[in-house]
Amino acid sequence: MNLILELLLLVGIIIYSYLESLVKFFIPQRRKSVAGQTVLITGAGHGIGRLTAYEFAKQKSRLVLWDISKHGVEETAAKCRKLGAVVHVFVVDCSNRAEIYKSVDQVKKEVGDIEIVVNNAGAIYPADLLSTKDEEITKTFEVNILGHFWIIKALLPSMLRRNSGHIVTVASVCGHRVIPYLIPYCSSKFAAVGFHRALTAELDTLGKTGIKTSCLCPVFVNTGFTKNPSTRLWPVLEPDEVARSLIDGILTNKKMIFVPSYINISLIVEIGAGFSSKRPHGDLQQSAAPGPGDLTSSDLLQHQ
C-alpha cells in the first residue's frame, strides 16, 4: 500500500513541479533590493551560512557575520570582501544568552541597526534518545531555538520603530516531519517553525506589516557530515542550492521556503496518508544528514 501511495506522491510532485515552472515563467515574482542594507547572519563560518553571505555580498548588502569559529568566519569575510561587500566580523557563541546580548550591543555601536537577520546557527547530535547526553539536548535547544529568541528580542525594537526589517528563521523539514535518532533536533526545529509562525502572527496583529518574516525548511543537505544520506523521495541537496533558494525567498518575501519547493505538497500527502516516519529517508538513522548551519557533535565547538 505504501508503494502505491509513494507512486501517487511522485506523480503529484512531477505535476506540481511542472505547474510551478509554468507559473514562474509567465508570472515572475517581483524581487526587492537589499543593496546597502545591513544583514546579520549567524553560523556564517561554514556551510549554508557562508554561502548565504556570498549571495548577500553579490546583492551589495553590508554584512555582519557571526560564528563561534574565528578562522571560519574570517574565511567567509575574505571572500565576501572580494565580492565587493563591506563586512564586519564577530566571534559569538549563539548558545550563550549574555554573549548574544553583548554582541548585539557592540554591533549597534560599531555598525548600526540591523535590517535583515538570518538565524542560521545550529547544532545536531544524531543518536537514539537514551544515548544522547543531557548537555547535548540542552545545547541543541540553546543554539537551535533559544538563541533565536535572544537575538530577535535584542533586534526587534529598532525594527518596530521603523516598521521595517526582515527576520529569517533557518529551520528544517524536520520541523514538520519527525525522524528517528534525531529527537532533540526535530523537537528544536518544530519549535523554530512555531517561533516563526507565532512571530509572524504577532507582527501582523501589531500592524507591523513592514517587517517581513521567512522560514527556511530544506530536506537533507550534503554537508559532508553524513555517511549515508540516502532517501526515497526526498533528494539530498547541495548547500549552494539551498543558499540560492533562501536568498530568492528573502528577495520575494516568501514566508515559508521549502527546498525543494514541492516538499510542502509531499508533507501534506504523507501526513494525510499516515506514512511511517521511516519511509522516505531509508538508511539515515544515526548518520542523519544535518541541515543548514547544523553540525555533528565533534564540530560543535569549532563552528555554529
pLDDT given at position 228: 52
Q: Are strands 38-41 and 116-119 parallel, antiparallel or unpaired?
A: parallel
CATH placement of domain 35-299: 3.40.50.720
pLDDT given at position 224: 56
- Give the ranges where the chain is alpha helix by DSSP (H): 2-26, 47-58, 70-82, 97-110, 134-141, 147-162, 183-205, 239-251, 263-273
Q: Which of 54, 181, 185, 262 is catalytic?
A: 185
pLDDT given at position 264: 66
Euclidean distance between CA atoms 71 and 69, whole angstroms: 5
pLDDT given at position 236: 80
Write out residues in the chain with pLDDT < 50, as ranges. Answer: 1, 225, 230, 272-273, 275-277, 279-304
Euclidean distance between CA atoms 142 and 20, whole angstroms: 37
C-alpha closest to that of 282 among 221, 226, 210, 232: 232
How many C-beta neighbours within 10 Å does residue 274 have?
A: 8
pLDDT given at position 303: 38
pLDDT tens-digit profile of 190-245?
Answer: 999 999 999 999 999 999 999 999 999 998 887 654 555 545 556 788 899 999 99
pLDDT given at position 10: 52
Beta carbons within 8 Å of 28's beta carbon, 6+ residues apart = none
CB 304 within 8 A of CB 93: yes
Residue 181 annotated in active site: no
3-state DSSP call for residue 119?
strand
Burial track 110-138 (b if 16+ CB lie within 10 A, e otherwise):
ebebbbbbbbbbbbbbbbeeeebeeebbe
> What residue spans define the domains of the chain?
35-299
Give the amino acid at 10.
Answer: L
pLDDT given at position 223: 63
Euclidean distance between CA atoms 78 and 287, whole angstroms: 32
pLDDT given at position 39: 99
The pTM of the whole model exceeds 0.85: no
pLDDT given at position 296: 37
